[in-house]
């Protein structure tokens, strides 16, 4: 008898659900292979859906519609979800309700592994090392407004007039948009009341968003930029003529060297030229905000060709002064690198929020088993070949896969995760189908960390997880659906304005735990 496909998934975010959904679809339950398929999704947080719950900005509720697909996936009887289980070498969350399970205790129960644990760690900048009251990762702000279990608490906005965000990606724009929005705009959305209360005390007047390259190299998405330009009572500091001219000459230079690819399909946005997105965003930056600069109580600016080199406390009207090195590009084009121009400048600001990219959780890869899977230098992603994990020696780790940001590095929106899930699910299903027909894979180039026993029990789980389930610390998908419904119900009780109700009132773990225990008590009473 061949081994079953008993898959442990580390991380319960979108890439996990998209890959699992496609594996289930390709191996239907009524097929011989599909009958021997089981999927156990582990998340270190108590709630599933990863960045869809704890990353997507609250004023983007449509992006969260993908959870109906995740519900459908979790509903398959072959799938189980275990929340509050931290897989890895070092415990990250001090909560007594989190079960810490080393990889070595997990793997003997499974024949296959999928790492879908993303890039949860913000990159740090050596020049930006002051206490969190004046400098903290932009991700802290996201954790705060989403009530992430690892939130380090709110920023002190009552003493902050000028905010500096460093980085030109969507996290930077999300954070800037939330800090500049009038709280009443956010009330109908999934923003906790405690967050709205802090935003009501905010004295933020201006947000500067710095990047070391130019308008044509920014990693924003057009939608995020358009939203910034359309905010009520907020205007954009117009681009300087110098920046506009530099960018226009870059476009001309690049278009001369990269002939448009006209033949066959007229593909836009590939090759060495600027993509349609980059050109449209440059036009948005040139046109500026809907509200005229100078007519609004709040403003923001997007600053180019500047990179932080130092941060110190200031005796002036603002808390700190940030020293910036000016840069220029080594060549025109979307992949140009920033090089120092030799000039420097300094700005005074109250709060610095770096958003310089995100990397995998190094504590997970501190394990002997997994330390050779992470790409060095940079630690930006798990080494893989179309989703199949390879170690630093180039050996395939048999039946071990990686998807989403853990595989690609922290770039791209949900659509990319969906596309990559096709590749990874095909790899899993192809390898499994081959191995089950005895079409053996070459053992010489593969090392194995998972169970290869055909006798592996399809429905077994590690005893630590079983104990956690029994004491109500480990959560199931059914628990989550109860909480999901209750959060929506509590939101509906709150009238925001007119007939408009709040989308949901999200719970943290302490209130979710109380709620779940009440539900269990009621079920026990009614059945006795």
Give me the residues paired with residue 298 across strands.
234
Cβ distance to other proteins smaller for residue 283 or 341 = 283
87 known member of a binding site:
yes
Cβ distance to other proteins smaller for residue 156 or 227 = 227
Token duo for residue 373: 């899977």
Q: In angstroms, give the least distance from the CB of 489 to other proteins.
A: 22
Contacts with other proteins by CB under 8 A: the residue count is: 50
Q: Is 283 helix (H, G, I), strand (E, B) or coil?
A: helix
Asked whether 116 and 81 are in contact (CB, 8 A), the reply is no
224 known member of a binding site:
yes
Cβ distance to other proteins smaller for residue 385 or 466 = 385
Among positions 32, 259, 263, 266, the unique one binding other proteins when judged by CB under 8 A: 266
Q: Which of residues 215-234 bind other proteins (CB under 8 A)?
A: 221-223, 226
Based on its alpha-carbon atoms, the radius of gyration of the chain, rounded to whole angstroms, reads 25
Q: Does 280 bind other proteins (CB under 8 A)?
A: yes
> What is the per-residue burial (b if ≥16 Cβ within 10 Å, else e) of 272-301?
ebbeeebbebbebbeeebebeeeebebbbe
Q: Does 92 bind other proteins (CB under 8 A)?
A: no
> What is the per-residue burial (b if ≥16 Cβ within 10 Å, else e) of 37-65?
bbbbbbbbbbbbbbbbbbbbbbbeeebbe
Separation in Å, CA 145 to CA 171, 226, 396: 13, 22, 40
Sorted by sequence, the CB contacts under 8 Å of residue 18 that are 6+ apart come out as: 69, 403, 417, 418, 421, 425
Token duo for residue 167: 């980085």
Q: In angstroms, give the least distance from the CB of 453 to other proteins.
A: 25
Q: Does 68 bind other proteins (CB under 8 A)?
A: yes
Evaluate the CA torsion angle 479, 484, 486, 487 in order and state its sign. positive
Cβ distance to other proteins smaller for residue 19 or 353 = 19
Stretch that binds other proteins, among 81-89, 143-151, 353-361, 380-388 (CB under 8 A): 380-388
Q: Does 396 bind other proteins (CB under 8 A)?
A: yes
Q: Per-residue x/- mask for other proteins, residues 441 to 480, rule CB under 8 A?
A: -x-xx-----------------------------------
Q: In angstroms, give the least distance from the CB of 384 to other proteins.
A: 6
Q: Does 66 bind other proteins (CB under 8 A)?
A: yes
Sorted by sequence, the CB contacts under 8 Å of residue 402 that are 6+ apart come out as: 114, 115, 116, 373, 381, 382, 384, 387, 389, 424
Q: Does 268 bind other proteins (CB under 8 A)?
A: yes
168 known member of a binding site:
yes
345 known member of a binding site:
no
Q: Is 307 helix (H, G, I), strand (E, B) or coil?
A: strand
Cβ distance to other proteins smaller for residue 228 or 512 = 228
Q: Does 29 bind other proteins (CB under 8 A)?
A: no
Distance CA 51, CA 278 (A): 25
Q: Does 359 bind other proteins (CB under 8 A)?
A: no
Q: Does 79 bind other proteins (CB under 8 A)?
A: no
Q: In angstroms, give the least distance from the CB of 155 to other proteins.
A: 27
* Virtual torsion, Cα 183, 358, 390, 373, nearest 10 deg: -110
Phi-psi map region of 246: left, alpha, beta (phi>0 left; psi -120 to 50 alpha): alpha
Q: In angstroms, give the least distance from the CB of 223 to other proteins.
A: 4
* Virtual torsion, Cα 84, 86, 90, 92, nearest 10 deg: -40
Q: Does 11 bind other proteins (CB under 8 A)?
A: no
Q: Does 273 bind other proteins (CB under 8 A)?
A: no
Bridging pattern class, strands 500-501 and 495-497: antiparallel
Q: Which of residues 407-436 bind other proteins (CB under 8 A)?
A: 407-408, 413-416, 418-420, 422-424
Using the structure block, give the residue that is written with the tokens 């300094």: 346
Tell me which DSSP letter residue 506 carries: -
203 known member of a binding site:
no
Stretch that binds other proteins, among 66-74, 199-207, 293-301, 357-365 (CB under 8 A): 66-74
Among positions 31, 72, 454, 500, the unique one binding other proteins when judged by CB under 8 A: 72
Q: In angstroms, give the least distance from the CB of 415 to other proteins.
A: 5
Residues of the shown chain interacting with other proteins in the complex, contacts defined by CB under 8 A? 60, 62-63, 65-66, 68-69, 72, 221-223, 226, 265-270, 275-277, 280, 375, 381, 383-388, 390, 393-396, 407-408, 413-416, 418-420, 422-424, 442, 444-445
């Amino acid at each position: 008898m061949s081994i079953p496909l008993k898959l442990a998934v580390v991380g319960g975010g979108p890439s996990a659900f998209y890959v699992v959904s496609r594996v289930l679809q390709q191996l239907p339950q009524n097929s011989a292979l599909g009958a021997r398929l089981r999927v156990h999704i582990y998340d270190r947080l108590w709630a599933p859906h990863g960045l869809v719950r704890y990353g997507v900005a609250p004023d983007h509720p449509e992006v969260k519609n993908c959870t109906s697909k995740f519900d459908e996936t979790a509903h398959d009887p072959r799938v189980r979800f275990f929340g509050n289980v931290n897989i890895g070498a070092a415990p990250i969350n001090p909560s007594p309700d989190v079960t810490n399970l080393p990889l070595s205790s997990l793997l003997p129960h499974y024949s296959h592994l999928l790492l879908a644990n993303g890039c949860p760690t913000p990159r740090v900048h050596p020049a930006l090392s002051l206490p969190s009251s004046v400098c903290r990762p932009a991700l802290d702000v996201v954790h705060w407004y989403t009530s992430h279990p690892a939130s380090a608490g709110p920023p002190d906005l009552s003493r902050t007039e000028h905010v500096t965000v460093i980085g030109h990606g969507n996290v930077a724009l999300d954070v800037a948009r939330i800090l500049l929005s009038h709280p009443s705009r956010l009330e109908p959305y999934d923003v906790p009341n405690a967050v709205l209360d802090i935003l009501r005390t905010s004295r933020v007047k201006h947000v500067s968003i710095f990047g070391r390259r130019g308008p044509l190299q920014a990693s924003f998405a057009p939608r995020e930029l358009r939203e910034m330009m359309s905010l009520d009572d907020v205007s954009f500091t117009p681009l300087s003529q110098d920046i506009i001219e530099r960018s226009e000459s870059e476009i001309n230079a690049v278009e001369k060297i990269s002939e448009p690819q006209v033949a066959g399909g007229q593909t836009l946005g590939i090759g060495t030229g600027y993509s349609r997105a980059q050109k449209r965003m440059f036009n948005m930056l040139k046109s500026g905000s809907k509200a005229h600069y100078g007519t609004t109580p709040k403003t923001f600016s997007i600053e180019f060709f500047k990179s932080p080199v130092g941060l110190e406390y200031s005796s002036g009207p603002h808390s700190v002064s940030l020293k910036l090195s000016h840069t220029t590009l080594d060549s025109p084009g979307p992949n140009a690198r920033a090089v120092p121009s030799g000039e420097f400048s300094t700005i005074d600001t109250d709060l610095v929020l770096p958003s310089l990219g995100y990397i995998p959780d190094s504590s997970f890869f501190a394990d002997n088993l997994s330390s050779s899977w992470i790409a060095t230098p940079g630690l930006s992603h798990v080494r893989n070949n179309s989703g199949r994990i390879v170690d630093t020696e180039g050996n395939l780790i048999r039946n071990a896969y990686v998807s989403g940001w853990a595989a690609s590095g922290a770039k791209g929106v949900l659509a990319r995760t969906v596309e990559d899930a096709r590749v990874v699910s095909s790899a899993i299903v192809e390898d499994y189908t081959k191995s089950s027909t005895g079409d053996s894979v070459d053992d010489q180039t593969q090392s194995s960390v998972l169970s290869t026993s055909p006798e592996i029990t399809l429905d077994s789980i590690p005893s630590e997880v079983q104990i956690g389930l029994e004491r109500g610390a480990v959560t199931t998908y059914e628990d989550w659906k109860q909480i999901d419904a209750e959060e929506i119900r509590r939101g509906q009780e709150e009238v925001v304005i007119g007939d408009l109700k709040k989308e949901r009132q999200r719970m943290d773990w302490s209130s979710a735990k109380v709620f779940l225990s009440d539900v269990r008590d009621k079920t026990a009473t009614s059945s006795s």
